[in-house]
């Protein structure tokens, strides 16, 4: 991954001032935006070139100029203070005609100026810095932001108020887990809009604001004129279907390995986001970052609690929640007891490792595959068991790896759940083992065991004196909890899961 261009706070402030000032020459505005975009880690010169309509060689040239000479390196080809070709009187006329409702084509005809120049002057006017005053909505938004973190579904109440304050038709928070190029969670101000799944799975990578600098409010019109935007595939294939004409974005940064990005949208028949909305959003940036940190902590704590809470009284199955790299996020007391023995498995720099390097690699491959099941349903049903030899000569530990999430609404992070069983611990029956391993109810555990023995839904219903509809309801819940999609996966998962546990004979 490419490292971002290093820009100190002073230089960043000057670049942002140049990029947002109506008095800055267009070429210098473009170079400033290129340098700001270059500060984002992982963004290539080709990505920046495509976004700003220049060649990759041009991007690299201005990156080199800035690295060697700072801001002076950007002004060589076009010095600040050069006379403008379009004077103040013409600009004032263009702005007045635009306020009267004329489109850019008609304004260009009346003023004898190219349509692209008219569009540029209107964009510059709209992106002018707001007066230095506190927006009356700021205090109430900050209060709503932090109060909504305690709601059952965090932040939704704030997003609704944020939508109203910015006069948007949509306001959403996108989160990204480590090294992922598509959102892991999209939290909005209400029910998902049509096209949400297409946006997450296909179009996010094509959107105009996918590589904007951290902490800077950017609109689509900062990068493209209306005419240029309508020529983009993203507009033709996606935005035009929903009448979207204007987009505002804020990338608030990364906390605890999760990146947060806010997006607001207006329809084509509305006006673009103006100085007031931009100033309000910019003032909210530090609060949004603090709230993102609290939000991620809350979701992580809930995920860890859900993953580790299914311990039946009297059982001694160790549970360890890990991320896709095997870093331990949480572990229950039986698991910590096994790890403290350092007899076949242990922790190294916070990651789970086995004494046998070959088996350790196998374990981490299983962790990665099962962690993918948090966001990719096709990757679920990959539970596997391993036997861990102990150098002390004691009986081997049974280890089971499965997905750490059922893919619920608030899933943000890829995790795997590892079960550890020490044969020296008390022996358990199969039904209780299924309850222990997968948080099944007693009724669900009986159904899962019946199906794993090859019985059909009808046969299970008849043997249990329960309706087939009730059995089907149990099966749906069992599939969700065990992370499987088919009965064949259920049979295999039950068999390898109970095989790892020393059992009593069934009555």
**pLDDT in the model for residue 81:** 44
CATH node for 127-299: 3.30.450.80
Sign of the CA dihedral running 187, 189, 192, 198:
negative
Q: What one-character-per-residue DSSP string does 289-312 give?
A: HHHHHHHHHHHHHHHHHHHH--PP
Q: What one-character-per-residue DSSP string does 383-407 give?
A: -EEEEE--TT-PPPEEEEEEES---
Q: What is the residue extent of each domain of the chain? A: 127-299, 306-499
For 306-499, CATH number out of 1.20.1260.10, 1.10.10.970, 1.10.10.10, 2.40.50.140 equals: 1.10.10.10
Alpha-carbon span 378 to 201, nearest angstrom: 15
Low-confidence ranges of the chain (pLDDT < 70): 1-3, 22-23, 75-85, 87-89, 125-134, 178-185, 187, 189-193, 301-316, 373-383, 405-412, 423-430, 492, 495-507
**pLDDT in the model for residue 422:** 76
**pLDDT in the model for residue 381:** 47
Alpha-carbon span 166 to 280, nearest angstrom: 8
Sign of the CA dihedral running 95, 220, 287, 163:
positive
**pLDDT in the model for residue 83:** 44
User: Please, which contacts does 103-106 make with residues 24 or more away whose CB atoms are closer than 8 Å?
Assistant: 104/226, 104/227
**pLDDT in the model for residue 498:** 57
**For 40-54, how does the pLDDT look when each residue is reduced to its tens digit (9 = 90+)?**
777 788 778 777 777
**For 351-363, how does the pLDDT look when each residue is reduced to its tens digit (9 = 90+)?**
899 999 999 998 9
């Amino acid at each position: 991954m490419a490292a971002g261009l290093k820009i100190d706070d002073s230089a960043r402030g000057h670049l942002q001032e140049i990029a947002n000032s109506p008095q800055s020459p267009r070429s210098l505005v473009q170079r400033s935006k290129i340098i700001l975009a270059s500060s984002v880690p992982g963004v290539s010169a080709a990505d920046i070139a495509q976004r700003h309509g220049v060649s990759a060689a041009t991007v690299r040239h201005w990156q080199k100029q800035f690295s060697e000479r700072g801001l002076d390196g950007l002004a060589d080809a076009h010095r600040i203070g050069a006379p403008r070709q379009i004077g103040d009187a013409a600009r004032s006329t263009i702005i007045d005609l635009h306020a009267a409702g004329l489109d850019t084509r008609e304004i260009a005809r009346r003023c004898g100026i190219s349509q692209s120049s008219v569009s540029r002057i209107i964009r510059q006017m709209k992106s002018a810095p707001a007066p230095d005053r506190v927006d009356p909505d700021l205090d109430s938004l900050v209060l709503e932001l932090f109060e909504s973190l305690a709601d059952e579904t965090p932040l939704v109440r704030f997003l609704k108020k944020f939508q109203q304050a910015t006069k948007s038709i949509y306001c959403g928070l996108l989160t990204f887990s480590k090294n992922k190029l598509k959102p892991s969670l999209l939290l909005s101000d209400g029910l998902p809009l049509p096209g949400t799944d297409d946006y997450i799975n296909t179009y996010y990578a094509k959107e105009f604001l996918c590589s904007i600098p951290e902490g800077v409010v950017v609109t689509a019109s900062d990068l493209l004129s209306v005419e240029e935007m309508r020529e983009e595939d993203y507009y033709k294939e996606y935005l035009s279907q929903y009448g979207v004409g204007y987009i505002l974005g804020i990338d608030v940064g990364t906390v605890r390995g999760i990146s947060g990005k806010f997006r607001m949208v207006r329809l084509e028949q509305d006006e673009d986001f103006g100085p007031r909305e931009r100033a309000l959003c910019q003032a909210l940036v530090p609060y949004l970052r603090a709230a993102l940190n609290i939000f991620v902590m809350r979701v992580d704590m809930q995920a860890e609690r859900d993953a580790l809470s299914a311990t039946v009284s009297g059982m001694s199955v160790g549970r360890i929640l890990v991320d896709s790299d095997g870093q331990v996020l949480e572990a229950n007391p039986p698991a910590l007891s096994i790890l403290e023995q350092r007899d076949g498995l242990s922790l190294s720099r916070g990651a789970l490792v086995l004494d046998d390097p070959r088996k350790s690699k196998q374990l981490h491959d299983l962790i990665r595959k099962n962690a993918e099941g948090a966001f990719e349903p096709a990757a679920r049903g990959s539970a596997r068991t391993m036997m861990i030899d102990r150098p002390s000569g004691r009986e081997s530990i049974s280890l089971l790896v499965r997905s750490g999430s059922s893919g619920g609404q608030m899933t943000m992070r890829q995790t795997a759940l590892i079960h550890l069983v020490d044969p020296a611990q008390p022996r358990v029956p199969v039904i209780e083992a299924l309850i222990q391993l997968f948080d099944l109810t007693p009724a669900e555990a009986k159904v899962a065991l019946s199906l794993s023995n090859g019985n059909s839904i009808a046969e299970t219903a008849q043997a249990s004196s329960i309706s087939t509809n009730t059995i089907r309801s149990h099966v749906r819940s069992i599939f969700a909890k065990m992370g499987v999609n088919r009965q064949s996966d259920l049979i295999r998962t039950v068999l390898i899961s109970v095989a790892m546990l020393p059992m009593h004979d069934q009555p």
